[in-house]
A and B are shown apart, each in its own frame.
Chain A
């Protein structure tokens, strides 16, 4: 089941919030290949937002080849090339790390400090 939580106070546009959440659910396999997405009108109704917003979100996901729209049938999670998938996930990880780096700079942390934390967390996760 697709999950979407929209925040009105976020400075991210609503369509972008939708794209990000669906994208990450596709990349992490929570939405599997071939899953049908609600129509743009249905999604707009369920989220109580404008049709133009959901339309724009689907168009963006189509551009990224994450979903496919078949005329008269609806939109589906596209089949993902494994290599491409790995690349997209890597890009996501890079994004998240960049965010962490930005935050760490606000605290005047050094690269070594950051690597230390990363190592600690990585090892800890392995133990579980």
Chain B
């Protein structure tokens, strides 16, 4: 199977933040969610992929080709949704479309009009008159209208209400019926979009903590809940992180068999949500940093 996106050993240093050996890959026909807390480096990685900033070292390939040498050809096949609006605010929507469309060899006006109708966007209004959600919808319509093979979205659900998030989900699922399409999206809130993601890449403080199929993640991690008196130093070693209240503990583990063997039915083991994993890993790191 072809890698549609290949990021290898990317480094990028700023004064107070750096990306450290960031690597991951996305196969054709699948969806990857790129998650992590605010400031973890998601937008930096996306900007590097789009060649909006320069990397210090490492390589990025899109559609199997170097992202800088083949920038024009690659971008013709990418639909990019920014988290911030990137168009000139004083222009009306139809004017923006008229400016942008000629850049794409496969721009499709019928497709554009379909999305405009579907999202109920007012073409003769200035962009600045639109609400945040409407701006995001316009950005998505613009990104999809040239029938891209890879869709990259930076925080696409930020500022969207649950109804539109559901609509967006439907739309993406429909696109994915074509097995040559791939989607890469970032998110700091684990959202409804994660449900349909095949792969999850978790970035924390400039480092990739894991990049795996979502099924592997939900099967290898477990949330353990039980009474405080069950805890001892030995068992705590099988926890990534553990929180306690006066009434019991809750811990994240990657060693479900051991916990089952040790505690049997005296604890509850649940499948963690991505949010559970994100929060426990964050607290574990913070704890380690304080010690």
Residues of A whose CB lies within 8 Å of any CB of B are: 9, 11, 13-15, 41-42, 44-45, 48-53, 56
A57 vs B71: C-alpha distance when bound (angstroms) = 38
A-contacting residues, B130-146, CB 8 Å: none
Q: Kindly supply a per-residue 1/0 record for chain B positions 193-232, scoring 1 wherever the CB is within 8 Å of any chain A CB and 0 otherwise.
A: 0011111000000000000011100110000000000000
CB-CB under 8 A for A52 and B214, given A11-B269, A11-B270, A11-B271: yes
Chain B CB count within 10 A is highest, among A41, A42, A50, A56, for A50
List residues of chain A with CB within 8 A of the CB of B195. 48-50
CB pair B169–A48 under 8 Å, yes or no, is yes
CB pair B218–A50 under 8 Å, yes or no, is no
B30, CB-defined interface residue at 8 Å: yes
List residues of chain A with CB within 8 A of the CB of B196. 44, 48-50
Contact residue among B177, B215, B270, B271 (Cβ-Cβ distance under 8 Å from A50): B215
How many whole Å from B265's CB to the nearest CB in chain A? Answer: 9
Residues of B whose CB lies within 8 Å of any CB of A are: 29-31, 169, 173-174, 176-177, 179, 195-199, 213-215, 218-219, 269-271
CB pair A14–B215 under 8 Å, yes or no, is yes
A11 vs B270: C-alpha distance when bound (angstroms) = 6
CB pair B215–A51 under 8 Å, yes or no, is no
A41 to B, closest residue via Cβ: B177
A42 vs B173: C-alpha distance when bound (angstroms) = 9
How many whole Å from A103's CB to the nearest CB in chain B? Answer: 12
CB pair B29–A51 under 8 Å, yes or no, is yes
CB pair A51–B271 under 8 Å, yes or no, is no
CB pair B173–A13 under 8 Å, yes or no, is no
List residues of chain B with CB within 8 A of the CB of A56. 215
A47 vs B9: C-alpha distance when bound (angstroms) = 36
List residues of chain B with CB within 8 A of the CB of A42. 177
CB pair B215–A45 under 8 Å, yes or no, is no
A49 vs B174: C-alpha distance when bound (angstroms) = 13
CB pair B169–A50 under 8 Å, yes or no, is no
List the 5 shortest-distance A-B pairs measured between CB atoms, nearest first.
A45-B173, A52-B198, A50-B198, A41-B177, A52-B213
A14 to B, closest residue via Cβ: B215
B169 to A, closest residue via Cβ: A48
A45 vs B85: C-alpha distance when bound (angstroms) = 29
Contact residue among A45, A48, A49 (Cβ-Cβ distance under 8 Å from B177): A45
List residues of chain B with CB within 8 A of the CB of A41. 176-177, 179
A–B Cβ pairs within 8 angstroms, 29 of them = A9-B270, A11-B269, A11-B271, A13-B219, A13-B271, A15-B215, A41-B176, A42-B177, A44-B173, A44-B176, A44-B196, A45-B173, A45-B174, A45-B176, A50-B31, A50-B195, A50-B196, A50-B197, A50-B198, A50-B213, A50-B214, A51-B29, A51-B30, A51-B176, A52-B30, A52-B198, A52-B213, A53-B214, A53-B215
